[in-house]
Amino acid sequence: MKKINIIGHRGYGPTHSLPEGNPLNQHLPENSIAAIKHAIDNGADGIEVDIQVTEDGVPVLLHDKDLYFHSFGRFGENVGKKPLPAYDDIKDIDIGGGNRIPSFDKLIELLANYDRAIIVNLDVKDERSVEAITGYLNPLAEHISSQYVCSSYDWDLLASFRAASRDIRLIPAIKSHILYGADNVLMPDYIPLTTRFDPDAKWTLQELHDRLGIDGLDCTFTDFQPELLDWAQEMGVGLQVSTGNERVTAKNTDYDAINIMNRALTTSNIPFITCKVDEPDKVIAEFNRQFCTPPNADTAGQEPSKLVM
């Protein structure tokens, strides 16, 4: 039976805005090997990480170029976002609990230790990541490289990835104004003011699929509408839905949306649905508690569709 993939957003969720003394910031900082390992070891189907590239061309797991903001105890002078220096100059920066900024090859090494397929969603940011990432993925065996997907709001960047590799999996992130129209999105929080998609959105996405051969569609939980499931099925692609920049606890996760997607997956030809959440183990447990109760008089003969079988 098909089931939704639950993967850990930035490993075990964003921690950059948590107080320095918060245990998560101390032990499972975002995009760290510790957070990634914790998510996978506790039942996540995979992880999402952010990719930046250093001055000397090393891809690293880091949300943005603000080293001061992402370092524990705050590293050096706050100079804001600027090009990353060479990897040797940042590799020992403490991002929390003694964790360091991981290079991409450290992630590949970690995942080689697992005897099951691990989904890896790479949130890529700029053109320099094209050569850096494809240089690592192209030599990998197909059954391993196919576990990696590249996502970005920058569709021109995804076009560059496609030009560099015919096989790399691409899932474009869809901006709110494309789905709903600019006049129907409340800024600066990207809150939709309607539940109706812009009529042109579907054709915009179909054209992108025709041009790049995408593997799926990607939106936030706040932008998700069941209609997107119909679009994905018609296009023959999967769907990814994600939390945003601020941490969303398991308690505040949208389980109704996950249930809609889970039911659709079992009754449609959508190849996959992936939910990127901040506390994957807790989300799986809570979803199963809410929606996968044992059969009773009302559900006799119906098999619950659990997120973990």
pLDDT digits (tens, 9 = 90+) for 41-85: 999 999 999 999 999 999 999 987 667 556 655 555 544 456 788
Q: Is the pLDDT of residue 37 over 80?
A: yes
What is the dotted CATH code of the domain comprising 5-291? 3.20.20.190
Rounded CA-CA distance 77/270 in Å is 49
Higher pLDDT, 261 or 298: 261
Rounded CA-CA distance 16/247 in Å is 9
pLDDT at 300: 45
Provide the CA 69 distance to its chain's centre, in angstroms: 21
Q: Is the pLDDT of residue 295 over 70?
A: no
For range 238-266, the mean pLDDT: 95
For range 110-129, the mean pLDDT: 95
Per-residue pLDDT reduced to its tens digit, 104-117:
999 999 999 999 99
Highest mean pLDDT among 14-18, 100-104, 288-292: 100-104
pLDDT at 201: 97
Per-residue confidence at 95, pLDDT binned at 50, 70, 90? confident
Rounded CA-CA distance 268/61 in Å is 35
Asked if 242 contacts 253 with a C-beta cutoff of 8 angstroms, the reply is no
Half-sphere exposure of 142 (CA within 13 A, CB side): 2
Residue 284, helix vs strand vs coil: helix
What ranges do the domains of the chain cover? 5-291
DSSP 199: T
Q: Is the pLDDT of residue 306 over 80?
A: no
For range 162-190, the mean pLDDT: 95
Rounded CA-CA distance 176/184 in Å is 9
* Average model confidence (pLDDT) across the chain: 89
Strand partners, 120: 47, 148
pLDDT at 85: 87
Does the pTM of the predicted model rise above 0.85?
yes
Gyration radius (Cα) of the chain, Å: 19
Residue ranges of the alpha helices (H) in the chain?
23-27, 33-41, 67-70, 87-90, 104-111, 128-137, 142-145, 155-164, 176-180, 201-212, 227-235, 255-267, 280-291
DSSP 222: G
